[in-house]
Structure 1
């Protein structure tokens, strides 16, 4: 084994955040407040399939929050926050899994933060980084693709600018291509479900992802994906024109692929 002092390892860069994709589907999130910031938080939560409960007097709701309550299944409690909200929320009567505070009252916000800490409920107090268990970054969304840019609470507007730049430079159709790859993975797992086949599945899917362009991936039909799966057992990945030639029920043996007419080759 090489001397540890001779090995190169990444340098530690303190002061960052652990960026995670938090799965809150079907979990209950309490939003205190009903203004513009709360509206953005609520949309993020609904995109993640959370159950959202908004505690705010009706006169404090902005038009977007009113719309979410009326149309998107958001539960509204028409009053100011009370400590018992951390114990039981409608309609389930359970405590929240997460709390987001977006009100123009620093003292009240800090009190809610302290109550959340006592109950070990993760919380975010808008615009107060020191009273946050987590931050909201600026997110680019294209179907299943999500890219978050975070400045660790130091420059939200800069994060938004960087996010827009990234979005403008991504290939067209990248979200659709990822969707197709996801469908192919599901089909492959159904075809080869054994746990011990996991490493081989991952290696083959990596080769498939590297073999086709974004546009090519988007253009794959369900028949193309079924035909592509036929190459899994031999650990091969055909070129796109071979898959197109197999459309209509043809199999590789039916194709005159070795005389150069299709230029058949297999990605190494």
Structure 2
């Protein structure tokens, strides 16, 4: 059975820490001592084994080095004058089973000097905690020598659960606390503020009245003198940490101002209500950029689904499927991007302004984008827009159709001995201009997004030399053979998915005959024929529908009908 240790936080400013050893652990102990304001003294005879960071600290004069073996009198001569030369703590980084480590531990225990021996809990009178620091906030974790790695893991888990920048909020609350004590005790003509503060605050925390409501009309002098401190103690106890972390310097001033006359009893005839918990400023809105994936609702990430359900206002791309829009709660207003050829920039500006206006009202805005926000989705542009206006932006990735759509069409974009690289391109450049296509290589798979509305011109740029000298690059670009296999994938992952398998020579004719069903993309390369060999004497092949994401190959609607029928039959049997 492990007996718990007494955990304390010790001020070590100007303390002398004796460190025995010169390796990485000794360097780490010295760094920690310097961090807390102590003065490390290293005793070690080996000049060649000094760790490089420790050597630098010695060279800079921040660490004193006594270059010899340890001597017993070091414990009582290398320390501070005010404690008769005794050192304040000893860190032994020598092998734990070495006779010297055991001897030093016994000496320190006899002289009541705190000692820590690496990897030897039985030789230690204190252990170091795995610590997290954020300004005045410090968190320490120990497993009592049962695993430093586990301590670090627990510390990381706890720290990650705290609101960001919580340390400054702790400092602001501390400032508020000190000002409350000074102002309230001065108003009562109490001179020994420090003693009164300790006595009253510790006692108040133990009394049954701690949780009592702080009333504005309470005229008890003792209550009046401490009500602001009781109020502060209660908000520290009960407010969510995220709300405490949001407190600013302006909030501190506002709260203190609201209680300026706390020691004065209210006028008897006063009927004005007074809120003893001044509200914080209106909540600042947030913006989330989230990818909706290729189309099927089951391919949404959990984070995006949660964002859809919690948003106050949603700005959606035009091509976000109806199946995903159906997941939006009815209470949540939605604006669909009004993008069409020639209006893309204006529609984008409209979306950004709508999002900004909603956040100014304190709303949580979700910018729902097709696929992944950063893959031809203007995600970085939108992030920069909102960040420049003082808003932090959360970005949630989405499954991109560039890689998932070929999979749903049974096209492995890489395959041994067939395709060893994947290139993702846009089929439409800035302002509708045709982008420079990639050069041909037999083992290359190219996925063109946003390409179907200008499929014919894209195929021409792949297979022919451009007549326009401005679009001709100075380097030679290998043209793609017109016989190269390709596939058009539309509405990937949805029940009405369509795959057109053909070659660059006939793909335009195939799409023209079947009509367009956006959103869609073009996959080019020999990977298109790995799992689906071309049908002899057929220029193209069309495959309709995709049900593999629905249970038992049925659509959601079909499953609901089956469930209803099952319920009816059960009731009939009853």
Instruction: Tell me if both proteins adopt one fold, taking TM over 0.5 as the criterion.
Output: yes
Aligned to 2:141: 149
For residue 35 of structure 1, the aligned residue among 23, 39, 63 is 23
Within 5 Å, which residues of 2 pair with 1:1-268? 15-57=3-45, 58-71=47-60, 73-89=62-78, 92=81, 94-104=85-95, 106-193=98-185, 194=193, 195=196, 198=201, 199=204, 200=226, 202-209=229-236, 210-211=238-239, 214=242, 217-218=245-246, 220-221=248-249, 223-232=250-259, 233-234=261-262, 236-241=276-281
**Higher RCO (CA < 8 A, seq sep 6+):** 1
Unmatched segments (≥5 aa) in structure 2: 186-192, 205-225, 264-275, 283-574
CA shift in 2, pair 1:61/1:189, >3 Å: farther
Could you tell me how far 1:125 is from its partner in structure 2?
0.9
CA shift in 2, pair 1:211/1:155, >3 Å: closer
1:14-73 deviations in Å (ceiling 9; x for gaps): 522222212222222211112211222222222322222222233332112223334473
CA shift in 2, pair 1:240/1:76, >3 Å: same
Stretch deviating more after TM superposition (126-135 or 71-80): 71-80
Q: CA RMSD in A?
A: 2.8
CA shift in 2, pair 1:108/1:202, >3 Å: farther
Could you tell me how far 1:215 is from its partner in structure 2?
6.0
CA shift in 2, pair 1:90/1:21, >3 Å: closer
Q: Is the 8 A contact 2:15 2:80 kept in 1?
A: no
Q: Is the 8 A contact 1:137 1:148 kept in 2?
A: yes
CA shift in 2, pair 1:72/1:137, >3 Å: farther
The total of aligned residue pairs comes to 229
Instruction: Give me the whole-angstrom Cα distance separating, in 2, the residues matched to 1:120 and 1:238.
Output: 51
The secondary structure found in structure 1 opposite 2:91 is strand
Could you tell me how far 1:126 is from its partner in structure 2?
0.9
Could you tell me how far 1:173 is from its partner in structure 2?
1.5
1:55-107 deviations in Å (ceiling 9; x for gaps): 22333321122233344732222222111111111675711011111123711
CA shift in 2, pair 1:167/1:230, >3 Å: same
Could you tell me how far 1:167 is from its partner in structure 2?
1.9
Unmatched segments (≥5 aa) in structure 1: 1-12, 243-268
Could you tell me how far 1:175 is from its partner in structure 2?
1.5
Q: Is the 8 A contact 2:77 2:86 kept in 1?
A: yes
Report the structure number with the largest CA radius of gyration.
Answer: 2
Q: Which has the higher helix share?
A: 1
Question: TM-score, normalising length from structure 2?
Answer: 0.37
Instruction: Give me the whole-angstrom Cα distance separating, in 1, the residues matched to 2:54 and 2:116.
Output: 18
Q: Is the 8 A contact 1:142 1:174 kept in 2?
A: yes
Could you tell me how far 1:218 is from its partner in structure 2?
4.7
Could you tell me how far 1:122 is from its partner in structure 2?
1.3
